[in-house]
A and B are shown apart, each in its own frame.
Chain A
C-alpha cells in the first residue's frame, strides 16, 4: 500500500454498520455487506442535496427560534417573556455568570457554529475545494461532537415549566420558540449526520494519482 489511496478508488467500500471492507461489484444493482447485510455505498447517497435541504430548513426556523418567546415567567409581582438571548442576559444580570456563559454557548454559539460550519463544508465540497482538508474534517468532527448540547434550553424550559406549575406563586410556561428551537437542533443534527466527510477528501485523491 504505497501512497494515499482511498478505498473507493480501489473499488472497495467499507460497510457503514460494521466497517467491513469489501469489493463493491459494479452494475449488479443493490450491493450488500457480506458480513451484516447492510446496503453498501461508496458515499452516503444524496448526501449533499439532503444536507442542504435540512440545513436550509434549519436556517428558516432559526429566525422564529430567536425572535419568539421561549419562556414566560409570571408571579404576583412581575411578569416577563424571555427570548433565548434575553434569558441569557437576565441570567447575567442576576449574577449567575457561569450559568449564563454555559447557556450562551449551548443556545447561541453552538447552533450558529453548526449552521455556518455545515454551510462552509457543503460549499467547499461542491466546489471540490482542496483547501485544508484536515482542518475541515476536524471542523466536521467538532460539529458532530457539540451539536447535541444545544438541547440544553429545551430541557431547562421543560423542567421549570413542570415544577412551578404546582405552586400558586409563580407560573412558568414554554413559549412557541421552544418548538422552533427544538426543530433547529433536530434538523442540524440530521444535517450533520447526512454530510459525508469523505467527500472533503475526494478532490485530493483525483490530483495526486
Chain B
C-alpha cells in the first residue's frame, strides 16, 4: 500500500499538496495557503458519532410520530405533525413543494441516520459492513440535503406567527426536534470520514494478509 506511506494530502479548496502531520487530540490541521480545515484528530470519533446517531434516531422517530404543536380555534382544535404538513401540501396540488419538504426533512435525514448506524455499528466491533465504500460516497452526496436544523427554525417562526392570533400549545415533537437538532450537530462535529476510511484500510489489509 505505497499510497498510504506517502501520507500526502491535497487541500479540497485550493489543491495545495501538503504532508500530513500527527495531531494532538482535539486539534485540527488547516491548509497553510487557504486556511481550509484539512482533517481533525477527533477523539473516539466512531464511538461518539455512533452514540449521537442512535440517540438522534430515537428522537427522529418521536418527532415524526407526535404533533409539533396544536392551536385552539374557539372550541375546535387543530394539531399538526410533519408528515401531515407534507400531505396537506400534496392534497393542495403543491406536489413539488410537498416533495421538497418530504425529501429534506423526512427521507434524507432518515436515510442518513440509517446509513450512519449501518456503517458505524459494525466498525465499532471491527467488522466491515458490505458496500461501505459506496455508502460513504452516497452519504457525502446526500448530506447537504438533510435540513432538520432549518426546519427547527421554521417551526419557531411559525409559532411566533401563530401566537399573534391563536392560542398555541407546543407538542412533544417540538421538543424532540429541538433536541434532534442539537444531536445532529454533535454527530456532524464528531464524525470524521478520515477515521472511517483509515479503519476500513487497516481492516482491509488484515483481511488480505490473512
Give me the interface of A with B, judged by CB distance under 8 Å. 1, 4-8, 10, 12-14, 17-22, 34-38, 91, 94, 96, 99, 102-103, 106, 133-134, 137-138, 140-141, 148-149, 151-170, 173-174, 178-179, 182-183, 186, 189, 193, 197-198, 200-202
Contacts and interface: CB of A to CB of B under 8 A. Distances in A.
B35 to A, nearest CB: 7
Contact of A6 (B17, B140, B193): B17
Secondary structure class of chain A's binding surface, majority of residues: helix
Contacts of B6: 21
Contacts of A157: 97
Contacts of A149: 150, 153
A156 B3 contact: no
Contact of B136 (A17, A163, A166, A186): A17
3 nearest CB pairs, A to B:
A155-B154, A167-B73, A166-B78
Contacts of B100: 154, 182, 186
Interface in B136-171: 136-137, 140, 144-145, 147, 150-151, 153-158, 160-162, 164-165
B21 to A, nearest CB: 12
Given A19-B12, A154-B101, A159-B80, A35 B85 contact: no
Interface residue tally on B, bucketed by range: 35 or more
Contacts of A138: 35
Given A155-B154, A158-B97, 9 more contacts: A12-B17, A13-B10, A21-B10, A35-B3, A36-B137, A152-B154, A154-B154, A167-B76, A174-B94
B133 A156 contact: no
Q: Which of A96, A166, A201 has the most CB of B within 10 A?
A: A166
A142 B94 CA distance: 31
A162 B82 CA distance: 9
Contacts of B76: 166-168
Interface of B: 3, 6, 8-10, 12-19, 33-36, 68-69, 71, 73-74, 76, 78-80, 84-89, 92, 94, 96-98, 100-101, 104-105, 133, 136-137, 140, 144-145, 147, 150-151, 153-158, 160-162, 164-165, 193-194, 197, 201
Contacts of A14: 9-10, 12, 15
B164 A94 contact: yes
A21 B97 contact: no
B16 A4 contact: yes
A6 B97 CA distance: 42
Q: Among the interface residues A170, A173, A193, which one has the most CB atoms of the partner chain B within 10 A?
A: A170
Best-surrounded residue of A137, A151, A158 (most CB of chain B within 10 A): A158
